[in-house]
Structure 1
């Protein structure tokens, strides 16, 4: 049945349905009759080809989740603010699914008034939306892209009001923007920063001081760090996941004894300056997954891999044939299963 007739028939036959999941279907248009689904709690259009939502969407007064992830929707109808029960809004788009291009993700602007949102993925930053962000006091998960340097002050003020926020992603508008975020939410557990950081950020920002005691996941992308970040980050003793991607412009990383005792996953990707990765005995004592990805200047198998006795997944992506020979001839990882791909 053509998608143009499928949805109207579903709506006609299912007026009492609470979940309508249309993800991955080649649907381009949503019938205006969807507003008649007064009992609808979940509307999923993820990975569809929908470009516009009908005005009647404002009639879905019981809607809790609206999933528009990776659709072609550029703007939300103003009437969406009438959906006061809406808790979860997904509107992110990806131009590069590998996330190796700086501006690979984007969101859309949302009208003021959706005060009860708990999940917002993703807001496209504008001066007005940043200032009003603090009104979303129930937010627990927030992703925001295209943050300009001049927005950082207002963004910090808004974030400081979000007592329930646990997951935060902030992406700068371009590679030269410095993300100055010095007022983190008090209960942050998961943090991803896409953009340049100040030289003193890791030592002075509350994100990485006392306010970071609850952090279990940290992802730093395009940070342009020029000094060793590990002495500062090792204070985050509850981390279970740490990822660097284009984040570090130095030749050496050393994981000292006792650092990151709860870390389960470490991913280092696209660090062209890194030549030496060294792991001391007793470092990352709980590590289960180590991924080294496109570390083009690393010329030796990292000393200390043999100390990672809890490792279950050891992967080397985009390595040279020369480095592959080093791996095959390295006695320190004999008996350890590992995977690789060639560049």
Structure 2
């Protein structure tokens, strides 16, 4: 899109309140954007724009800035003049093929971000580019409802925890470490935000933070690459409103135990890439309303857990890359474990064919039979 066209657009529509270039073929935002005094929403989502001009500091009515999946890596200090700003959306995705460590990349912000006291969304900012001062500033953003931190390092943990305690309205927290082996230290939160409902943690944990068990409004808990050595279930099984639990590369142990009376509202459970897992024990009375279960690959698991039989509400069962012998035991025509899963409405077996793409089979597909015999 030619620069001259954009400039003419700005001059002609000077009263614009929404300017959305999402998926547009632009790689440059001219200084004239600062003349759009009435602008409330500016989106550069999935464009090649890499630099925001300093003139954005004149957009005093701007409420939403969206640079998701764009080329923007740093927000100019001039945004601190935008006191009405409520939402900064600035994350993009990385995928390191060698380690399978998938992370969210944020943007760099300068010290002083605490002056944006109307901010409700800040997702995501880069932790490794900032000193402690920026994390102390975060504690001033008491209206935040969504916070995303990427490339987190262990030494910034305490400062982040101190700030999170001030965010009494926080609803969504996303924290990703700088590498698969870097510890996310979130242990020092003594008074967690009472309305925190969704937590996504990507990176190594020494243990599940103690304060998570206090979150009466927690709905979603997703752990990636946590490498926990102790069964994490005991610390979250009593959460009264937990609906979704996902453990992906999150547990290195051999056994998971779902105790009686636990997970009363859980509807979706994901147990992915738990390479050491051999057994899943499900007590009678646990997971009473579970509807969806995804599991695998678990190369050490030799048979279908017998507890699957008592999951009365289970409708969808997805197995990922389970070995041939395991699948044969589930076959309707004489499989030793078929009785454990025969009441499940949908059973799917997924096998990777390219990258993150999967070939999906139903339990009794003829194509699956050919694969197992081949």
Q: Distance in 2 between matches of 1:44 and 1:52?
A: 13
How many residues are aligned here? Answer: 336
1:70 aligns with 2:72: no
1:194 aligns with 2:197: no
Q: 3-state SS of the aligned residue for 1:158?
A: helix
1:136 aligns with 2:145: no
1:237 CA drift (Å): 2.4
1:159 paired residue number: 164
1:237 aligns with 2:236: no
Query: What is the root-mean-square deviation of aligned Cα atoms in Å?
Result: 2.2
2:33 paired residue number: 34
Larger Rg: 2
2:320 paired residue number: 317
Which ranges of structure 1 fall in alignment gaps of 5 or more residues? Answer: none
Distance 1:65 1:264, change over 3 A: same
1:302 CA drift (Å): 2.6
1:150 aligns with 2:152: no
Q: 3-state SS of the aligned residue for 1:236?
A: coil
1:177 aligns with 2:183: yes
- Given that 1:109 and 1:129 are in contact with CA atoms closer than 8 Å, whether structure 2 keeps it comes out as no
Q: Which of residues 240, 247, 258 is equivalent to 2:250?
A: 247
Q: Distance in 1 between matches of 2:285 and 2:8?
A: 62
- Given that 1:3 and 1:26 are in contact with CA atoms closer than 8 Å, whether structure 2 keeps it comes out as no
Q: 3-state SS of the aligned residue for 2:301?
A: coil
1:178 CA drift (Å): 4.6
Q: Distance in 2 between matches of 1:143 and 1:191?
A: 10
TM-score, length-scaled by structure 2: 0.83
Cα deviation digits, residues 71-102 of structure 1 (max 9, x gap): 1111111111111111010111211299x843
Distance 1:227 1:34, change over 3 A: same
1:9 CA drift (Å): 4.6
How do residues 1-343 of structure 1 correspond to structure 2 at under 5 angstroms?
2=1, 4=3, 7-96=6-95, 101-102=100-101, 104-111=103-110, 112=112, 113-125=115-127, 126=130, 127-174=132-179, 175-183=181-189, 184-199=192-207, 201=208, 205-208=210-213, 210=214, 212-328=215-331, 329=335, 330-335=338-343, 336-343=345-352
* Further displaced range: 130-139 or 318-327: 318-327
Which ranges of structure 2 fall in alignment gaps of 5 or more residues? Answer: 353-374
Q: 3-state SS of the aligned residue for 1:342?
A: strand
Q: 3-state SS of the aligned residue for 2:159?
A: helix
- Given that 2:15 and 2:38 are in contact with CA atoms closer than 8 Å, whether structure 1 keeps it comes out as yes
- Given that 2:43 and 2:65 are in contact with CA atoms closer than 8 Å, whether structure 1 keeps it comes out as yes
